[in-house]
Structure 1
Amino acid sequence: MTTTAAPDPLWLRRYHPRPDATARLVCLPHAGGSATFYRPVSAGLPDSVDVLCVQYPGRQDRRGEPCATSVQELADRITPLLLPHTDRPLLLFGHSMGATLGFEIARRLERDHGVVPHALFASARRAPSCPRDERVHLRDDDGLVAEMRALSGTDAAILDDEELIRMALPAIRADYRAAETYRYEPGPRLRCPVTGLVGDEDPKVTVAEARAWERHTDASFDLRVFAGGHFYLTAHQREILDLLAKDALRP
């Protein structure tokens, strides 16, 4: 039996301990998201994959903590916490803002620690070199809620509960600010393989912008296009789980 390091209790959540796993998947949420978004992913993967879900500050049980101000800050804080978990192949899966964060974490692992991730999965996010001028974080509360409704990534019951949504809005706004003010800094390309995943009707990223992730790796690149919008993955969970499980077994 192998030894599985205990995750940091604030940042990293392990919902299904798998001490004999041969690979490890780190899941990075979207703007306004939380670790619990990936609980079905953790439950749906085989025992060969240990899953760590990242919980950003400022939400749920971390609501009393200040939110991060940038993607770079999140990457700087999360990367050292992953080092004890690089004893087996490490895969990074990020959705939307989480994809950009996964890219910055992969950069830091490779550049600063000599750790090349087994794979980076960039879901529903433009390549770092494809910026857009987005200012959702500057809207009033109603405008922010309207954006969330349009993307269909938040339970309608939460959006209709004024007390719940008012509690969540500060973290959502902070995440949008971090995502929308992110600017790519040119540097060495990644050495790890990258897979881009995108919905064919996603208003936040075109297929061409997702394909541009190919520019950011010297390893292999694959693009998977699914029917759907920004949260296409909720309708294609089994396909994505199969893809992750298969890649985790890759030599």
Structure 2
Amino acid sequence: MASLKIRIFAMHCTHFPNAPLGLKPLTPGRQGSLRLIAFPHAGAGATAFQRWAPALHQDIELYAVQYPGREERAHEAPLCQPQSLINQLIPALQPLQDKPLIFFGHSLGGRVALALAMALPQPPLQLIISASSSPFLARHSQLLRMPRAALLNALCAGEGLDESLIGDSALADYYLPLIRADLLLSSQLLFPAQPGYHAPLAMFYGENDELIDRQDLLDWRRIAQGDFQQRTFAGGHMYITTQREAVIAGVHQLLAGRLSEPASR
């Protein structure tokens, strides 16, 4: 597992009153030709993708899904029923569909992104699944049965979360209900073990990720009935943080021909 510890994204954030419920604009004012919708990992909020904004090509507007229960939606109960979440996101996306969409979902976010893509009348131009376990199996459901102390230790070891969470009771009280709800959500986001997604799909993952294995990669390949690409990056489960620029470059490469000119850095 990579030694980097995932930052716990706090509740302090900017609220955009005109943003659709469930989506947070991270490049407000940018007028691009494409819209990238980012789906955070378990326990995270939209600001997990905040640092992507300045590095993305000027033709790409960035929005991130804001799950209930975090950041400016901290007053809401987290959702653990997939259909309830999808029912929120479909109308949130409606005003954004006048431009082609790209979905990027990391870990739990990959499963949410696939579920939403399959629920839309028109799938996204490109679906990018990042470090997500098999869409056919609930691989990490055993975490749901762990008591508080054991779950904290497992998250800090296996997931790479900041170990200060163990000694910070207030932060743990805030964070654990989110992670439990997200784990329950993930365990219910299961798909038929057959080809079922017909639009372009790409799989991104870290070469040292201990939370996914070869079978996970094969299962994502199996569900894709259309164009499928696979890209490997240095790092572990949170390679999207340690290799942010390389990941964004990978996104740009997938969209080659859709972007007007090289991205300004």
Gaps of 5+ in 1: 1-5
Moved over 3 A (4+): 151-160, 185-188, 248-251
Residues of 2 paired with 1:155 and 1:216: CA distance?
Answer: 34
Q: Give the letter for the 2:19 counterpart.
A: P
Q: Give the letter for the 1:198 counterpart.
A: Y
* 1:75 equivalenced with 2:86 (yes/no): yes
* 1:127 equivalenced with 2:138 (yes/no): no
Q: Which has the bigger relative contact order, CA under 8 A and spacing at least 6?
A: 2
State the shift of 1:54 in Å: 0.9
**1:135 counterpart SS class:** helix
Residues 112-142 of structure 1, C-alpha deviations (whole Å, 9 max, x = no match): x2x1211111011123134436320221121
* 1:23 equivalenced with 2:34 (yes/no): yes
2:180 to 165, 173, 183: 173
State the shift of 1:46 in Å: 2.1
State how many pairs are aligned: 241
Seen in structure 2, the aligned counterparts of structure 1 residues 47 and 158 have a Cα distance that, compared at 3 Å, is: farther
Q: Give the letter for the 2:209 counterpart.
A: D
Residues 189-238 of structure 1, C-alpha deviations (whole Å, 9 max, x = no match): 22221111112222221134124212222221111122322112211111
State the shift of 1:180 in Å: 2.3
Residues of 1 paired with 2:230 and 2:199: CA distance?
Answer: 15
In the alignment, what sits opposite 2:76?
Answer: 65
Moved more, 65-74 or 193-202: 65-74
Residues 33-91 of structure 1, C-alpha deviations (whole Å, 9 max, x = no match): 11010101123212210000111011233222121123333222212211211111100
* 1:230 equivalenced with 2:237 (yes/no): yes
Residues of 2 paired with 1:233 and 1:181: CA distance?
Answer: 25
TM-score by length of 2: 0.83
Gaps of 5+ in 2: 1-17, 259-265
Q: Is the 8 A contact 2:104 2:113 kept in 1?
A: yes
In the alignment, what sits opposite 2:23?
Answer: 12
Q: Give the letter for the 1:238 counterpart.
A: E
Seen in structure 2, the aligned counterparts of structure 1 residues 133 and 33 have a Cα distance that, compared at 3 Å, is: closer
Residues 74-112 of structure 1, C-alpha deviations (whole Å, 9 max, x = no match): 222212211211111100000111000000011011xxx
State the shift of 1:152 in Å: 4.7
In the alignment, what sits opposite 2:226?
Answer: 219
**1:81 counterpart SS class:** helix
* 1:209 equivalenced with 2:216 (yes/no): yes
In the alignment, what sits opposite 2:12?
Answer: none
Q: Is the 8 A contact 1:151 1:229 kept in 2?
A: no
Seen in structure 2, the aligned counterparts of structure 1 residues 202 and 70 have a Cα distance that, compared at 3 Å, is: farther
Seen in structure 2, the aligned counterparts of structure 1 residues 100 and 123 have a Cα distance that, compared at 3 Å, is: same
Q: Give the letter for the 1:237 counterpart.
A: R
